[in-house]
C-alpha cells in the first residue's frame, strides 16, 4: 500500500489556467494573473483543474513538486486560488436552486429521482461492468480521500456538533483499524474491478463535473466562514449514501464485480443509516443550537452539493446511454478480479 502514501504526478493541463499553475509548481513559469480566473468557465475543465491543483497541495501534494518553496502557503499561489474560488463560488450562488428553508432542503434529500433516473438507479438495473468501472474511476478522486475534507471542520465546531462529527469521522477512518478505513476499502473495490488503485490515478481521466464535486468539499473545508456549508455537504453525503449504496451493492453483485467491490457498498448501507441520524440530530442540531444564523449556510451546502452531483449525473448518463465512455481517457480493457 506504499503507493497510496505518495502524491500523484501532475496531470496534463486543460487550458491556460491549469497549464500556468502546473508550470509554476514545476518551477518553469509564472502564475496566471488572478483576473484571468474571472474570464474562465466556472465549471469548465481548465478552472476546475487549476483549482484542484491548488487544493491538492493541502492533501498529499504531487510527485516531483518539492517542498521549497512551500507551495501549500505560497502567497502568490494563494492569491490565484482565491480568484479561482471567487469565480466558482459566485457562479454557485447564482446558479444553484435554493430551498426556502433547511427543513425543505433536508426533506428533498429523501425524495427519489423521477422514474428512478439517477446514476445509482441506472447502474443497479441496467449498468454494465464497464460502466461500473468508469463510475469507480471517477469517484476515486473523492473516495480515496474519503472523510478528509470534512475533518477540517472539527476545530471549528464545539459541543454536540463536534462530538457527533468526530463520531462519524471515526467510523469513516476505520474505527481505529487501518484495514477498515473507507478509503482503503475503496482501493480494494478498485482492485476487484481491475483498476489502478493508486491515489489520484485517474485525475487525468476524470471529467470536469467530477473535479467540481471534489473541489466543493475542499472549498468549504478550507474556509472557516463556510463551516456551515461544509456541515450541509456532510449531511447530504450521509443522508443520501445508504439507499444509493444499496443499489450499487446490488449492481456489483449482479455484474460479478467481486467481493471487495460488494463489501464497500454493503458497509456504507449499514454505517450511513446510523450516521444519518447522528448528523441530523447532533451535528446539525448541535451547530444550530450554538449558531442558529448558520442555517442558511447549511442549506447552501446541501443545495450546491445536489446541484453539482446532478450535473455529474447528467453527464455520465448521457454518455453511457449513447454507448460512449464518460472519461476523458477511456479505461484499458476489463481485468477480471480472478485473473
Residue 131 has pLDDT above 90, yes or no: yes
Q: Sorting pLDDT into bands at 50, 70 and 90, what band is 115?
A: low
Confidence of residue 110 (pLDDT cuts 50, 70, 90): confident
How large a percentage of the chain has pLDDT more than 70?
Answer: 94
Round the average pLDDT of the chain to a whole number and report it: 92
- Domain ranges in the chain? 2-94, 99-321
pLDDT at 210: 98
Task: Taking residues 254-271, report their average pLDDT.
Answer: 89
Angstrom distance (rounded) from CA 319 to CA 327 = 9
In this predicted model, what pLDDT tens digit does every residue of 273-330 receive, in sequence order?
Answer: 778 889 999 999 999 999 999 999 999 999 999 999 999 999 999 999 999 999 999 9
Q: Checking phi first, is residue 74 left (phi over 0); if not, alpha (psi -120 to 50) or beta?
A: beta
Contact between 159 and 290 under an 8 Å Cβ cutoff? The reply is: yes
Domain 99-321: CATH class, spelled out: mainly alpha
Give how far the C-alpha of residue 169 lies from the chain's centroid of Cα atoms, to the nearest Å: 15
Structure confidence at residue 338 (pLDDT):
42
**CA distances in angstroms from 92 to 37, 101, 173, 183, 305, listed in the order given:** 15, 18, 30, 28, 10
pLDDT in tens, 209-224: 999 999 999 999 999 9
- The answer to whether 96 and 304 have CB atoms below 8 angstroms apart is yes
pLDDT of 122 = 96
Average of pLDDT values for 1-24?
A: 83
pLDDT value for 116:
57
208 near 48, Cβ under 8 Å?
Answer: yes
Model confidence at 41: pLDDT above 50: yes
pLDDT of residue 186: 96
Terminal Cα-to-Cα distance of the chain (whole angstroms): 20
108 confidence band (pLDDT: 50, 70, 90): very high
Residues 245-264: b if buried by 16+ CB within 10 A, e if exposed = bbbbbbbbbbbebbebbbbb
pTM of the model: 0.94
For 13-39, write each residue's pLDDT tens digit: 999 999 999 999 998 889 999 999 999
Place 193 in a pLDDT band, splitting at 50, 70 and 90: very high
Model confidence at 241, in pLDDT bands (50, 70, 90)? confident
- Looking at the predicted structure, is the pLDDT value of residue 5 above 60? no
Q: In this model, does residue 67 exceed pLDDT 70? A: no
Amino acid at each position: 500500500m506504499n503507493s497510496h502514501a505518495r502524491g500523484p504526478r501532475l496531470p496534463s493541463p486543460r487550458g491556460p489556467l491549469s497549464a500556468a499553475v502546473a508550470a509554476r509548481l514545476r518551477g518553469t513559469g509564472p502564475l496566471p494573473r488572478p483576473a484571468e480566473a474571472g474570464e474562465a468557465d466556472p465549471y469548465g475543465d481548465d478552472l476546475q483543474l487549476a483549482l484542484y491543483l491548488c487544493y491538492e497541495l493541502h492533501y498529499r501534494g504531487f510527485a516531483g513538486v518539492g517542498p521549497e518553496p512551500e507551495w501549500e502557503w505560497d502567497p502568490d499561489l494563494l492569491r490565484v486560488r482565491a480568484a479561482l474560488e471567487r469565480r466558482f463560488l459566485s457562479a454557485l450562488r447564482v446558479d444553484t436552486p435554493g430551498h426556502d428553508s433547511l427543513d425543505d432542503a433536508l426533506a428533498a434529500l429523501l425524495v427519489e429521482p423521477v422514474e428512478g433516473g439517477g446514476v445509482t438507479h441506472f447502474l443497479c438495473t441496467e449498468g454494465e461492468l464497464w460502466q461500473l468501472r468508469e463510475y469507480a474511476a471517477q469517484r476515486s478522486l473523492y473516495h480515496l480521500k474519503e472523510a478528509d475534507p470534512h475533518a477540517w471542520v472539527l476545530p471549528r465546531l464545539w459541543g454536540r456538533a463536534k462530538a457527533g462529527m468526530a463520531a462519524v469521522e471515526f467510523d469513516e477512518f476505520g474505527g481505529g483499524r487501518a484495514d477498515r478505513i473507507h478509503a482503503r476499502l475503496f482501493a480494494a473495490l478498485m482492485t476487484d474491478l481491475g483498476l489502478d488503485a493508486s491515489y489520484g490515478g485517474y485525475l487525468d481521466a476524470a471529467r470536469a463535473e467530477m473535479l467540481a464535486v471534489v473541489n466543493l468539499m475542499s472549498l468549504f473545508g478550507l474556509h472557516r466562514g463556510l463551516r456551515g456549508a461544509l456541515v450541509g455537504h456532510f449531511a447530504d453525503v450521509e443522508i443520501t449514501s445508504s439507499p444509493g449504496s444499496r443499489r450499487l451493492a446490488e449492481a456489483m453483485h449482479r455484474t460479478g464485480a467481486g467481493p471487495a467491490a460488494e463489501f464497500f457498498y454493503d458497509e456504507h448501507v449499514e454505517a450511513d443509516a446510523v450516521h444519518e441520524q447522528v448528523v441530523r440530530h447532533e451535528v446539525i442540531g448541535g451547530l444550530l443550537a450554538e449558531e442558529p444564523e448558520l442555517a442558511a449556510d447549511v442549506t447552501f451546502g446541501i443545495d450546491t452539493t445536489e446541484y453539482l452531483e446532478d450535473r455529474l449525473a447528467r453527464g455520465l448518463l448521457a454518455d453511457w446511454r449513447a454507448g460512449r465512455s464518460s472519461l476523458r481517457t477511456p479505461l484499458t480493457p476489463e481485468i477480471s478480479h480472478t485473473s
